Every structure is written in C-alpha cells, then in structure tokens.
Amino acid sequence: MICSFNQLHLSAPMLDAIARAGYITPTPIQARAIGIALEGKDLIGCAQTGTGKTAAFAIPTIERLCASRPGAGARALVLAPTRELALQIAEHFAMLGAARGLRTVTLIGGEPMGPQLAGLARRPDVIVATPGRLFDHLERRSATLSSVRIVVLDEADRMLDMGFAPQVERILAVTPLDRQTLCFSATMPEEVERLVRKHLSRPERVEVGTVAKPVAAVTQRLYATDNREKMPLLLQLLGEERGQTLVFTRTKHRADRLARAVAAAGHRVTRLHADRTMSQRREALDGFRAGRYRILVATDIAARGIDVPEIAHVVNFDLPHTPEDYIHRIGRTARAEATGQATSFAVPEERDQLRAIERHLGHPVPRS
C-alpha cells in the first residue's frame, strides 16, 4: 500500500515541488496511476470527481518530460472540455513544473489569438487546450503536434457529451502513433470505451471507488418545495452558514437574477455562465477562490473545472437534467478529503429528475 509520495520513485525536484504545493499523501487514484504512467504505459483512470486526477497525470507527465531531452516542439498535450478546467490544469503544471523550466501554453476559446500565438512561438513543452481552440490552431497551422509523445484526455466523458468527438478524433489522428495516451474520466460510457479501443494501446485500467457516485464525505439533503419558496429558502440557508457556497441554476438568466437577489440581501456574490466573457469568468473564479466572494452562482459550465478546496456547501437551486450532472455538481464540495454539504431544492415538476438521481444513487436523498 502506497502511503507516501516517496514510495512512488519520484525525482527529488518533483518531491520538492509536491511539498511546496502542499500535497501530504497520495490520493488513491494518484497512488495507483502515477507508477503506471511513469512506466510509459497507456492508462485509463476512473475515479470519483474531486479525488486528485489532475495531479495523477501531471506528476508523471512532468517527470517523463524532464527525464528526456527537450524537442523542437510540444512534447505533451492535455485536452480538457472547458476553459475553466484547462486553466486549472495549466496551473497544476506551472506549480509542479515551473521550477524545472517546463513551459506550458494554454489554448482556449474566448481569448485573443495573439498571446496564444506568442506562447506557441516560444516552443512550449506542454499544450493544455480545449478541443475547439486547438483545432482552430491546427487549421491555421500555428500549432503542430508532430513532436507530442504524451497525450492526456481529461474528463473524456464530458468532452464527448459536449460534442467534441470529431475534433478529438482529428487531433489524435495528427499525433504520433508511438505516443503514450492517458485517459481520465469520471464515467465510462460506451462512447468513451470506443475512443479507448481505437486510440489506446493495451491500456492499464485503474478504477478507484464506485465510479460516478458521490464521495462519502458529502452530506446530502433535499427540500421538497415550490418555485415561490426557493428564493426565501436559499436566503435563509445563506444567512445561517458562513462557508464558501456554490449555487447551481438551470439557466443563465436565472443565474443573473439569483445573483442580484443574493447581493441585495447583503452577501458577497458573483456569477459564472457561458454568456460572460473569459475575463469575467476568470475574475469570478479567482475572486471566489481567493474569498473575495463567498457565493458563486453558476450554470453547469462550472460543474467540472472548479477546483476550490474550501467550498463548504453546494446548493442545487434547480435540479440538473441527469444523475451524472448531479454527481459532478455536488463533487465540487468535499474535495481533497474534506467534508461538505450538498442541498437540493426539488419542485413537483422535477420529480422525474429526482427519481433518476435516486435510482442512480441507489437510495433516496435524505429529506429535510
């Protein structure tokens, strides 16, 4: 049983970087995946959200890059479904690899091309990208993947859910056949299995816990209510608690309206959804992470890609459409082995979503 990063045969500079990052002991997915990836094998990693998958691929990728001679172009590619998740991944690579001179560029939509072109011109070691924007660069011939030796597909299920399968297929087609491929996902639907069979070579499988189930440290509760009572109930909960709170709504319009009402009640609140500019989204996330805002109101764009260990409470103001989205939403709390609270409001019109969620969980959500 691996209980220490020292047991993973990591280099001294990496152990120093891990210590500076504040990691104490490997999470289960890190303990099982890092050694396999260090050996250069293809890997499929499945684990609950919030269990440390980013470090599980960032650590061995950096180690393998630093052990080989720098090339004439990017040697590692990480694909992520959302801008927020790509930025989070890039932060991990900077935190763990910058002291060793590792250069990373982030290619995401909603940002000007100029800085991205400048970053590519500096011949980065690692490209972290969303599929759509990377495909744009490939079409413009401003990026090349001929020197890539490691490809990571993070949140593969979400990428395919969002319709990125054609871009992912075409991106993989222009990377070298002898690459190492690491595929990390919270769930393994048939679409992901097909991708794995086509693009991974004799992969090792690592599955930690019950895939697509909430972590045990999340305390769940449900309020059966109606639309008129939702807002007073939310304001009551926010007034009773003091921790960082993430509130999910179904639509962008409702997120805006909810944020205004919460601000009018005297709370420090911001909002995150697809109609906000990239700079506004980054300011909202950075402010929430830094504690300038106690409450973040968001649509499902934030269900994956938010890595804020201090989130104490997730509130489903509207129930999500699928059980998987429920799992990813409430997985924003109780991260890094902390505990957390997940509260859901259910109106009569949402009884079908609630039944689907409870079937997926295998038990009713406790009523309050």
Reported as half-sphere exposure (CB side, CA atoms, 13 A), residue 51 has a value of 28
Domain ranges of the chain: 5-208, 218-361
Q: What is the pLDDT of residues 133-181, one digit of tens each?
A: 999 999 999 999 999 999 999 999 888 888 899 999 999 999 999 999 9
Residues 6+ positions from 104 with CB-CB distance below 8 Å: 90, 93, 94, 97, 124, 125, 126, 127, 128
Average pLDDT, the chain: 90
pTM of the entire predicted model: 0.74
Helix axes 53-67, 83-97, angle to 10 degrees: 50
Decide if 366 contacts 221 (C-beta within 8 A).
Answer: yes
CATH entry, 218-361, from 1.10.730.10, 1.10.357.10, 3.30.70.100, 3.40.50.300: 3.40.50.300
| Superfamily the domain 5-208 falls into | P-loop containing nucleotide triphosphate hydrolases (3.40.50.300)
For residues 31 and 326, give the distance between their C-alpha atoms in angstroms, rounded to a whole number.
27
- Going 9 to 65 to 56 to 292, the CA torsion angle's sign is positive
Q: How far is CA 131 from CA 108, 134, 161, 163, 362, in A?
A: 8, 5, 13, 10, 35
Q: What is the pLDDT of residues 87-96, one digit of tens each?
A: 999 999 999 9
Decide if 159 contacts 171 (C-beta within 8 A).
Answer: no
Q: Which of 322, 274, 271 is nearest to 301 (CA)?
A: 274
pLDDT at 336 over 60: no
Instruction: Determine the pLDDT at residue 68.
Output: 82
